[in-house]
Amino acid sequence: MKKNFVSNSTASIRMFKNDFMESLSKVRFYVPLIVYVPVIGFLFWKALWEIEMPVLSFIGWFLFGLGIWTITEYILHRYVFHFEPEAEWGKKIHFIFHGVHHDYPNDAKRLVMPPSASIPMALGFYFLFDWLLPDNVVYPFFSGFMIGYLFYDMVHYALHHANFKNGFWKKLKQHHMLHHYSDSTKGYGVSWTFWDHIFRSNFDKK
């Protein structure tokens, strides 16, 4: 991304010689909804019906999970997706995970995270939170976390492909486009810009 190459093409470039690997790197924007909405529904059922968690407790842990997603989104984007290794193999991995999106931001099939990457990541987060949190609260907590993730994926797709009329969404789109076309070292928040203000990675007002 340092070379600031940006293609205006909507084509989906090939990254892998192997057809199967190539297919895993592309996904339609609605696929995460198909994969994760049933999972979120199951977590709701586990918390509210199977273990009969009080509604207020459920709401509290749900909102906590959603809040943790917002800082997770920021940290992943800033420190993982934008980490640029020196080794050649590391550069290739970086390009696969995020560099390709900055070089080809109009590639509609690489705007949401493919299940081949998101499912292992989601499982890792689930077991981490299950280990850290008190018994059973992982169900509402992780449902909030996953809704935050789905919101991020859908917003990210919309920011690249929708023409907004509403002032809030226009401002959010401008924020993300500045990250792509002006300065990729700022504006790491995609669905939430709050943490850019906190960590001073927001764009200067002019």
Instruction: Supply the pLDDT for residue 45.
Output: 97
Instruction: Supply the pLDDT for residue 20.
Output: 81
Backbone angles phi, psi at 196, to 5 degrees: -65, -35
Query: What is the average pLDDT value for the chain, to the nearest integer?
Result: 86
pTM: 0.88
Distance CA 163, CA 150 (A): 20
Of the given ranges (3-17, 24-38, 89-103, 185-199), which has the lowest mean pLDDT? 3-17
pLDDT above 50 (res 2): no
4 pLDDT band, cuts 50/70/90, is low
Distance CA 20, CA 51 (A): 41
Better pLDDT: 27 or 191:
191
Instruction: Supply the pLDDT for residue 126.
Output: 97
130-152 as b/e: b if 16+ CB within 10 A: eeebeebbbbbbbbbbbbbbbbb
Of the given ranges (56-70, 104-118, 137-151, 190-204), which has the lowest mean pLDDT? 104-118
Of the given ranges (4-13, 97-106, 107-116, 187-196), which has the lowest mean pLDDT? 4-13
61 pLDDT band, cuts 50/70/90, is very high
Distance CA 53, CA 114 (A): 33
Instruction: Supply the pLDDT for residue 29.
Output: 86
Question: Taking Cα atoms as reference points, which of 124, 120, 154 lies closest to residue 33?
Answer: 154
Mean pLDDT of 136-144: 97
Tokens of 99: 């560099």
Question: Taking Cα atoms as reference points, which of 141, 119, 102 lies closest to residue 13?
Answer: 102
- CA distances 203 to 27, 123, 167, Å, are 31, 34, 18
pLDDT above 60 (res 46): yes
Exposed / middle / buried, residue 65 (Cβ in 10 Å: 0-12, 13-18, 19+): buried
Rg value, the chain, Cα: 18
Name residue, tokens 């999106």.
Answer: 101
